[in-house]
Amino acid sequence: MVWLYRLQQQLSITRQEGLAILTLAVLFLLGLAVRHLQQQQIPPVAADSLVAPSPTDSIPPSLASSGPRSPSAEQPLNVNTALPKALDALPGIGPALSERIVTYRSTQRPFQRVDELERVSGIGPKTLSTLRPMVRVTAPDSASK
């Protein structure tokens, strides 16, 4: 508490004013900590955003040993149904970014257009222009048919 006494003398304030300032500072820091924790929580999945898994989500055992295919302009990857491992095969997309894509489409909504990939943190215009020929987006309505 010596530092509080020194602070009081430097600011020319009374002990009660010093304690009031200290209390306000502690409450401010506590509020920042609570806000940080709230931002770290993943929002619950909305019931209307749940989509039945398509047959392309499961990898047949015969293809499991050969690994994921490389997406290309001839064989674009559907970002609404792709597994994180398949997304990881895209240029400029690592494991963390592929997880963010999967999290985004499951917590927000499936992608409607390829341009919506820019909404995922870590994908900018440059990365999107590289990915554009290698990915496609199938609307949820046509994916369930």
Q: Are 57 and 83 in contact, with CB atoms under 8 Å apart?
A: yes
The burial of 132, by beta-carbon neighbours within 10 Å (0-12 exposed, 13-18 middle, 19 or more buried), is given as middle
**Mean pLDDT, residues 27-40:** 88
**Fold (topology level) of 71-140:** DNA polymerase; domain 1 (1.10.150)
Distance (Å) of CA 95 to CA 43, 83, 116, 126: 21, 11, 19, 19
Q: Which is more confident, 41 or 10?
A: 10
Is residue 80 within 8 Å of 102, Cβ to Cβ? no
Q: For position 31, what pLDDT does the model report?
A: 93
- Residue 90: how many CB atoms within 10 A of its CB? 21
Residues 73-132 have pLDDT tens digits of 677 888 888 888 888 888 888 888 989 988 888 888 888 888 888 888 888 889 888 888
Mean pLDDT on 46-64 = 54
Residue 48's φ and ψ, nearest 5 degrees, are -80, -10
Question: What is the distance between the alpha carbons of residues 73 and 60, in angstroms, rounded to a whole number?
Answer: 23
Ramachandran bin of 129, using left for φ above 0, alpha for ψ from -120 to 50, beta for the remaining angles: alpha
Residue 87 CB contacts under 8 Å (≥ 6 apart), including other chains: 77, 79, 93, 97, 98, 101, 102
pLDDT (0 to 100) of residue 72: 65
- pLDDT reported for residue 47: 59
Q: pLDDT tens digits for 90-101? A: 888 888 898 998
